[in-house]
Amino acid sequence: MTVKKLNLQLLFALLIVLCPLFLLIFYLKRKYIKNSETVLSKTRDEFSKQYIVKDSWIHVYPRQNYQFNQPLTYAGGVKCIDPSGKTINYTFTADAKTGKIIDSHIINLEMGF
């Protein structure tokens, strides 16, 4: 058996072992992402500790910002009523794996946006 043929067989065997391994890793990474409805429910619960939650929404598919090395996230919004009766609109970003709120901002609708 020549060295070239042996190297080709080793390469083929290595591919047979590594391909399923990479597919398994990819599957396991996707498996542990929370459903968007679960993340929205958890977010509503967090906001309801301080406000009355009137309405909420979330993007169904998570996104990842590779430029800033952020985790996989969901984006959405919550419409709340504070104790004085004033309506406050928030946008939020939540981690897709844990469901925790990473960031939230108040949207000022009076500015005409």
Q: For 62-100, what is each residue's pLDDT tens digit? A: 888 776 677 788 999 999 998 898 999 999 999 988 889
The percentage of residues in the chain with a pLDDT greater than 90, rounded to a whole number, is 42
40 pLDDT more than 80: yes
Ranges of each domain in the chain = 1-31, 34-111
Asked if residue 36 lies in contact with residue 58, where contact means CB atoms within 8 angstroms, the answer is yes
pLDDT at 21: 82
Which architecture does CATH list for 34-111? Roll (3.10)
- Closest to 41 in 3D by CA, of 105, 94, 104, 106: 94
Give the helix, strand, coil percentages of the chain, each rounded to 5: 40, 30, 30
CA distances from 56 to 22, 35, 91, 97 (A): 37, 15, 10, 20
pLDDT at 113: 44
Average pLDDT over residues 34-59: 93
